[in-house]
Amino acid sequence: MGLKYGALVAFPTETVYGLGADAENEAAINRMYQVKNRPKDHPVIVHIADLDDVEFWAEDLPDYAIELMREFWPGPMTLLLHRSANVGNFLTGNQEVIGIRIPNHALALTLLSEFKKVGGHGIAAPSANRYGAVSPTIASAVEMELKPYLHSDDLILDGGPCLVGVESTIIDCTTNNPRILRPGAITKEMIEASTGISVQTPEGEFARVSGSNEKHYAPKAKVEIATTANPNDGFIALKEIATPVGAVRLAQPVSLEDYARQLYSALRKGDDLGLNKIVIVPPDGDGLAIAIRDRINRAAS
């Protein structure tokens, strides 16, 4: 049957695995929401094959948004733009903006290009997990979590482990200055260097976006932010931090990039081991560390 006929396809990106549906097929999008148990007012991101597809989904693009597209796409960056007349409310949670990105993963780009050849304009794809749970970074995690809810026509594509490991940076491009609504691998410093425009702190009213709930990215185990752990607690920290006596070491990343790649799989490993509590020592610093702390804080909320 395939995407064009309403099937769902879970596929890898450089950030996490997504659960994809034809972004113009309301019935398929509704079923994707059901599979994820996702609230209907929580918007989804549309993944596109190339820059030529932007104008189908968005209008009134500021110059700085075009600069960001040219520099960071394909890549772990979602731009929030004024929606065009082609965008259905079922994608946006009835908001007047749409999130778009081009992922940087060979299998995802092939899927998007082949979908475009049969008339598709984009694939809507939130993370391939039940709503609020830990995002999957390997295909087996998708299968374990979503297989009971998928139909025989749906597919899970295995493209190996995700290289970035945390979701894309979401940048609001509907105002004079860009605003980061969800931190990720594309950082404030990178955005300002690319555009020459300062990034504003979101204040007052701004759009709902994926991953913005206070509690999100959470395993079944209780997550606690601390510097020490009790025996039989899971423990996640940079390699330089010693494992407390009796704690179960779930990850010991050697860099921020390594931390981002390992975080979600380590949280899932804690659940696989039946741990009741996972203690995490967040990394210090700016850049990618901000995104990692954001995910940890939401998991611990």
Q: What is the pLDDT along the chain (301 residues), one digit of tens a residue?
A: 589 999 999 999 999 999 999 999 999 999 999 999 999 889 999 999 999 999 999 999 999 999 999 999 999 999 999 999 999 999 999 999 999 999 999 999 999 999 999 999 999 999 999 998 899 999 999 999 999 999 999 999 999 999 999 999 999 999 999 999 999 999 999 999 999 999 988 776 667 777 666 666 789 999 999 999 999 999 999 999 999 999 999 999 999 999 999 999 999 999 999 999 999 999 999 999 999 999 999 999 8
- In a shared domain, residues 105 and 253: no
pLDDT at residue number 201: 83
Q: Which of 147, 179, 195 is the last residue of a domain?
A: 195
- In a shared domain, residues 153 and 260: no
pLDDT at residue number 217: 76
Among the listed residues 280, 276, 285, 274, the one whose alpha carbon sits nearest the alpha carbon of residue 297: 280
- In a shared domain, residues 43 and 135: yes
pLDDT at residue number 213: 62
Instruction: Identify whether 182 is part of a domain.
Output: yes
- In a shared domain, residues 77 and 148: yes
d(CA 249, CA 43): 36
Question: Mapped to the 3 state alphabet, what secondary structure does the chain carry?
Answer: CCHHHCCCEEEECCCCEEEEEECCCHHHHHHHHHHHCCCCCCCCEEECCCHHHHHHHEECCCHHHHHHHHHHCCCCEEEEEEECCCCCHHHHCCCCEEEEECCCCHHHHHHHHHHHHCCCCCEECCECCCCCECCCCCHHHHHHHHHHHCCCCCEECCCCCCCCCCCCEEEECCCCCCEEEECCCCCHHHHHHHHCCCCECCCCCCCCCCCCCCCCCECCCEEEECCCCCCCCEEECCCCCCCCCCCEEEECCCCHHHHHHHHHHHHHHHHHCCCCEEEECCCCCCCHHHHHHHHHHHHHC
Instruction: Identify whether 208 is part of a domain.
Output: no
pLDDT at residue number 50: 95
- In a shared domain, residues 31 and 179: yes
Q: Taking a C-beta distance cutoff of 8 angstroms, is the pair 133, 215 a contact? A: no
Distances (CA, A) of 251 to 255, 273, 274, 293: 12, 14, 16, 15
- In a shared domain, residues 75 and 140: yes
How many domains does the chain contain in total? Answer: 2
101 DSSP β-pair partners: 47
CATH number at residue 96: 3.90.870.10
pLDDT at residue number 41: 87
Instruction: Identify whether 105 is part of a domain.
Output: yes
pLDDT at residue number 212: 60
222 DSSP β-pair partners: 277
Contacts of 40 (CB under 8 A, 6+ apart): 33, 90, 93
- In a shared domain, residues 178 and 233: no
pLDDT at residue number 170: 97
- In a shared domain, residues 181 and 42: yes
d(CA 133, CA 264): 10
**Residue located via tokens 């779930």:** 250
Instruction: Identify whether 201 is part of a domain.
Output: no
Instruction: Identify whether 280 is part of a domain.
Output: yes
- Which structural domain, as residue segments, surrounds residue 25? 3-195
Contacts of 193 (CB under 8 A, 6+ apart): none
Instruction: Identify whether 207 is part of a domain.
Output: no
pLDDT at residue number 173: 97
- In a shared domain, residues 103 and 228: no
pTM assigned to the model: 0.94
d(CA 179, CA 54): 20
**Residue located via tokens 């491009």:** 173
